[in-house]
Amino acid sequence: MTLTNAPHSYLVAPDPAAAHLTRPVSGTDHTGKSVDLNVVEERPLTIFLNAQEIVTAMTIGDYPAYLALGFLRNQGMLHADEEILRVDYDDELETVVVRTASQTTYEDKLKKKTRTSGCAVGTVFGDMMEGLADVTLPPHPVKTSDLYRLAAIINTTPSLYLEAGAIHGTVLCQGGNPLVYMEDVGRHNAVDKIAGWMLSEGATAADKTLYTTGRLTSEMVIKCALMGIPTLVSRSGFTAWGVEIAQQVGLTLIGRMRGQRFVCLSGEHRLIRDANLRDVPEEPRKSQRKGANG
Amino acid sequence: MTLTNAPHSYLVAPDPAAAHLTRPVSGTDHTGKSVDLNVVEERPLTIFLNAQEIVTAMTIGDYPAYLALGFLRNQGMLHADEEILRVDYDDELETVVVRTASQTTYEDKLKKKTRTSGCAVGTVFGDMMEGLADVTLPPHPVKTSDLYRLAAIINTTPSLYLEAGAIHGTVLCQGGNPLVYMEDVGRHNAVDKIAGWMLSEGATAADKTLYTTGRLTSEMVIKCALMGIPTLVSRSGFTAWGVEIAQQVGLTLIGRMRGQRFVCLSGEHRLIRDANLRDVPEEPRKSQRKGANG
């Protein structure tokens, strides 16, 4: 079993050398010595759905169209069968506008809600929970050898994290192969960019695995379930409600995956424990994500 | 110089044994063995300002009144001199209502904004940036011996992080003494609870330091500046915009503080480098925050 150095090509991989994603910053270290660091950018992006301003997200700025589509989809503002006419990104105005063929039902909802409560912010989470009632995830089997292979490939893939730190990554995978690797300052942006890519490409979800560096909170689990992906894996920890929702919707949930170790919180019966732990290396120190807390 | 085991008492310390903050969760580990874990809770809390629903935050659920006050203050929805009549928390409805003597100007703003754009979500960030224009932070000196003392005390303080992981901490400090240590699933909630405590207690900000486990993004730096705290320290990394804003408002910004190491990104001239690095221990493995990514 070869876990690392396997020939592998992503459909979308991080581009840590892209000039607009990082910036040189100077500081002094603990000994008083000047240090020059390459630091991730962060810029506002305001997302519109037709004429409706929805949110301003703080993002590294790559893939604004995927981010907008995925955000709107994951918030239940765009339905799966919505006809999308165009997505217009304006670099200078820092806006992206998603245009649909017909007025979306969300805009009606929003109008009604803003009439009664003045603002729709507080209702978004309720809408996401509502969407969950219709979700039945397919009972897709998961090989532990695939999980270890994914972690080994992802952790050694050149990325903004390895280059500059302070960033989260989310990777859409199939079996033991990572396909689409997105990074962003917010862990939810990285997931939303994956959702936008899937929507744009018409990708199937039932055979996929989502790997994330972020914690498995309720919102992360709900997003994965709404995307129809039956397996969610993280290097980080989890909240009680995240675990509870995963169990309710039949999501296979794996947390704290580092080196040989992981904890399966939901979907144990779908795990095929085919990996020989003696073949699994402890992860190299360089890929330990101590700098991305947040 | 004694860095650890110094007698120290917090004004507000984490209460990792509080029954409602964690829940036992069962899983299986990488060897197939059953494991019982204590996992942090996460529950929705809807914040109202008078009759206006503002937001639903996901929180561990302690200090709902501080969270509401601090959130509203940090978003510029409550001014420093606002007369607050009452804060009512309803455990069953999971709501907290902040009542002010007079209608706040934010409610007028919100009504106008919802009339023109239908929703106020996208405007919140702009409001925060607007507030920054009036901020001048006092040039408070910072001793490196105090920074090391803070890190040593905070990292060994019994906390939900050490107990259950997957959580962020923020600590209000004065010189080398941590005063108020808040934790939450969202790093911004922890900061907002500190802001709420300061507002309730009428605490001065000019001589304080804010220590956080989360990344130093633009929003974190803006919040610290709006709170009037001249020094911000983090174990984690930073974004280019976070650094830029800190330099603009005259905030002393310290990132990646672990063991002996740190990087000063802004305010170098205020650092008093009085610590002897040979006296500073590398941090114990148990206090390394590898599990709170996100």
- Concatenating the DSSP letter of every residue in B40-64 gives E--EEEEEEETTEEEEEEEE--S-H
Least reliable range by pLDDT among A35-44, A96-105, A249-258: A96-105
Look at residue A140 in the predicted model and tell me its pLDDT. 96
The count of residues in chain B is 294
The two tokens of residue B49 are 């300002």
Look at residue B113 in the predicted model and tell me its pLDDT. 47
For residue B52, give how far its alpha carbon lies from the nearest alpha carbon of chain A (Å): 7
Residue A284 pLDDT > 80? no
From chain B, pick out residues whose CB is under 8 angstroms from the CB of A164: 237
Record: contact A29-B263, CB cut-off 8 A: yes
- Residue B65 CA to residue B134 CA, distance in Å, equals 27
Residue A19 pLDDT > 60? yes
CB A263 within 8 A of CB B39: no
Which residue of chain A is at minimal alpha-carbon distance from B190?
A294
Quick: pLDDT tens for A107-141: 666 554 444 333 334 445 566 677 788 888 999 99
From chain B, pick out residues whose CB is under 8 angstroms from the CB of A281: none
- Residue B202 CA to residue B81 CA, distance in Å, equals 11
Residue A172 pLDDT > 80? yes
Which DSSP string do the residues of A221-284 spell out, in sequence order? HHHHHHTT--EEEESS-B-HHHHHHHHHHT-EEEEEEETTEEEEEE-GGGEE----GGGPPPPP
Q: Give SS3 for B76.
A: coil
Going by the DSSP 8-state scheme, the letter that residue A118 receives in this structure is: S
Which residue of chain B is at minimal alpha-carbon distance from A236?
B291
- Residue B153 CA to residue B143 CA, distance in Å, equals 16
**Interacting residues of A50 by C-beta distance below 8 A, sequence separation 6+:** A97, A98, A99, A100, A103, A104, A107
For residue B7, give how far its alpha carbon lies from the nearest alpha carbon of chain A (Å): 26
Nearest CB to B239 within list A55, A117, A185: A185
Please choose, from the candidates B170, B177, B171, B169, the residue with its C-alpha nearest in 3D space to the C-alpha of residue B148: B177
Record: contact A237-B165, CB cut-off 8 A: yes
- Residue A168 CA to residue A60 CA, distance in Å, equals 11
- Residue B25 CA to residue B255 CA, distance in Å, equals 34
Mean pLDDT on A14-24 = 92
Sheet holding B177-184, edge to edge: A34-40, A22-29, B261-266, B252-258, B231-234, B208-212, B168-174, B177-184
Nearest CB to A241 within list B31, B41, B125: B41
Nearest CB to A265 within list B25, B46, B293: B25
Record: contact B32-A219, CB cut-off 8 A: no
Record: contact A219-B23, CB cut-off 8 A: no
Secondary element (H or E) of residue B254: strand B252-258
Please choose, from the candidates A119, A111, A123, A122, the residue with its C-alpha nearest in 3D space to the C-alpha of residue B119: A119
The two tokens of residue A228 are 């129809």
- Residue A37 CA to residue A14 CA, distance in Å, equals 19
Structural domains of chain B in order of their starting residue, each with its CATH number:
43-130 (3.10.20.10), 136-287 (3.40.140.10)
In this structure, the number of other CB atoms found within 10 A of the CB of residue A190 comes to 26
This model of the complex carries an ipTM of 0.87
Mean pLDDT on A138-157 = 96
Sign of CA dihedral B180, B181, B187, B189: negative
Quick: pLDDT tens for A61-93: 999 999 999 999 988 888 878 899 999 999 999
Which residue of chain B is at minimal alpha-carbon distance from A278?
B31
**Interacting residues of A237 by C-beta distance below 8 A, sequence separation 6+:** A215, A216, A255, A256, B39, B164, B165, B166, B291, B292
From chain A, pick out residues whose CB is under 8 angstroms from the CB of B30: 144, 260-263, 277
Q: Give SS3 for B131.
A: helix
User: B48 has which bridge partners?
Assistant: B53, B97
From chain B, pick out residues whose CB is under 8 angstroms from the CB of A42: 217-218, 239-242
Going by the DSSP 8-state scheme, the letter that residue B157 receives in this structure is: S
Quick: pLDDT tens for A38-60: 999 999 999 999 988 888 888 99
From chain A, pick out residues whose CB is under 8 angstroms from the CB of B269: none
Going by the DSSP 8-state scheme, the letter that residue A107 receives in this structure is: H
Residue A286 pLDDT > 70? no
Mean pLDDT on A88-106 = 88
Nearest CB to B39 within list A123, A213, A239: A239
The count of residues in chain A is 294
Record: contact A119-B54, CB cut-off 8 A: yes
From chain B, pick out residues whose CB is under 8 angstroms from the CB of A39: 237-240, 243
Cα A81 to chain centroid distance, Å, stands at 22
Look at residue B281 in the predicted model and tell me its pLDDT. 83
- Residue B285 CA to residue B34 CA, distance in Å, equals 25
Look at residue B117 in the predicted model and tell me its pLDDT. 38
Which residue of chain B is at minimal alpha-carbon distance from A253?
B27
Record: contact A236-B111, CB cut-off 8 A: no
Mean pLDDT on A191-209 = 96
CB A272 within 8 A of CB A142: yes
Conformational region of residue B120, where left means phi above 0, alpha means psi within -120 to 50, and beta covers everything else? alpha
pLDDT mean values, one per 10 residues, chain B (294 residues): 58 93 96 96 92 87 96 86 93 94 69 42 58 87 97 95 92 97 92 96 97 94 95 96 95 96 97 93 62 40
Look at residue A117 in the predicted model and tell me its pLDDT. 38
Nearest CB to B110 within list A118, A241, A291: A118
